[in-house]
Amino acid sequence: SLPGSPMLGSSKKGAADSGQGYAAYRDLDHTNAAVQQGIYSWMNSVLKRAGFVGWRYDYVKGFAGDYVGYYNAMSDAAFSVGEYWPDSDGWSTQINSWISATGKTVSGQAGKKSRAFDFVLKQKMNEAFGWYKMAEGTEENNRELWNMSLLADAATLMMSNPAAAVTFVDNHDTGSTQQHWELSWGDVAAAYAFILTHPGMPCVANQHYFAEEHWQYRGEEVVSGTKNTMKQHIDYLIKLRHTLGIEYD
């Protein structure tokens, strides 16, 4: 409220935040039963009726993981993944702790656990291939650090918790138009060969698969050293995964 507003000092406010703040978006009180009901009712009556069967939760650091598991249970989600991108040391511990929290009981309802994007593996892929964007406007080219053994790091979700790992090469934040932490284009095909033949539940970035007029969509570009487009390359790897019966675990 603005100074002088009749609402100044009002007791009509939510409970303390259960996660980190995020100034760019509204701050919901997930401890409030009316808020909880509003969220899962919307999932069931609007999203599921539109054909959705699972959820991707954005910026899950913003509220306790307990509530993600609760919303999954109350909407009988067939799939759930959370975007937990840590901003301090101990990434693997932080993400796995969040995954565990999604199994907690809320309001007498046992949580339905969520998976999480494997940002630890994303970090290791960037380092292993020797190229990654450090900060806005800066790049490092460390080809002499080419070290594939980093991909076997026990801290990745793919290694420590494969049933909960959703692996990826880049997404709308790390790549695409934002390019906050993008893998070099010359290494993208090899990175897909890795995640599509290894544990975890791999996902493909739409800008790597589709071809549109906008420059970020590169599905029709030919993979270096082959005659296949990136889309054909990814299609082959997906078929290979299915044919060989490679599962998330």
The residues carrying an active-site annotation are 58, 83
13: which 2 tokens?
């406010």
Closest CA to 143 of 124, 133, 129, 126: 129
194: DSSP letter? H
Chain centroid to Cα 241, Å, comes to 21
Question: Strand (E) positions, 130-171?
Answer: 131-135, 138-141, 165-166
- Give the CA distances from residue 244 to residues 96, 158, 189, 198, 236, in Å, rounded to whole numbers and listed in that order: 29, 19, 20, 11, 12
- The span from the first CA to the last CA of the chain, in angstroms, equals 51
212: DSSP letter? -
The DSSP bridge partners found for residue 126 are none
**Is there a contact between 115 and 126 (Cβ–Cβ < 8 Å)?**
no
**Reduced to 3 states, what is the DSSP secondary structure of residue 117?**
strand
71: which 2 tokens?
């919303």
